[in-house]
Amino acid sequence: MKALRSAVLASPEDVAAAQAQGSGLHLTMLTDANRQRFHLPDEPGVLIDQVAPGSEAETMGFRVGDVIEQVGDVGVTTPDEVKAQVSSRGSAANGDLVPLLVRGSSGTRWQELYVGRVSTAQLVATPESLNGAGSARNAAAGSR
């Protein structure tokens, strides 16, 4: 049962990240493999590796391959740092907007992230995500 559960449910880290984002973003560390995959320079930041279709994040212009460099005026290098900064700056209950400095294919820009409620139903893997996609897809939480 434990093996089945870990294959179906998001990891605690993914759940925490999804709850912090609440908008459809899934973040990961910048690794050499990610830098090659997305043709990214060797600069600090946190990679957006998934954006849930139809989510607030997609609507607001976040794209897979974008790199979050700052939350407000604080530089970030891990998903946990993004989570902590977003949590300290925005209230999910109030649906706040949190400013992020994002580097993407069209340059670097300030982008607001909607911090809203997460549907816990979206933190559970779908049958499609169990076909090799792994737990990263599980936490691609949707909007409000």
pLDDT tops 80 at residue 139: no
Distance between CA 116 and CA 99 in Å, rounded? Answer: 14
Quick one: pLDDT at residue 60? 85
List, for residues 12-68, the tens digit of each pLDDT value. 555 555 544 456 889 999 999 999 999 999 999 999 999 888 777 888 889 999 999
Handedness of CA 36, 73, 52, 4 (dihedral sign): positive
Check residues 90 and 58 and name the one with the higher pLDDT: 58
Q: How do residues 103-137 score in pLDDT, each as one tens digit? A: 998 899 999 887 755 444 444 444 554 444 433 43
Overall fold of domain 2-130: Pdz3 Domain (2.30.42)
- d(CA 90, CA 122) in angstroms, rounded, equals 21
What confidence tier does 77 reach under pLDDT thresholds 50, 70, 90?
very high
* Residue 79 predicted with pLDDT over 70: yes
Around 69, how many Cα atoms within 13 Å sit in the side-chain half-sphere? 15
Domain ranges within the chain, ordered by starting residue: 2-130
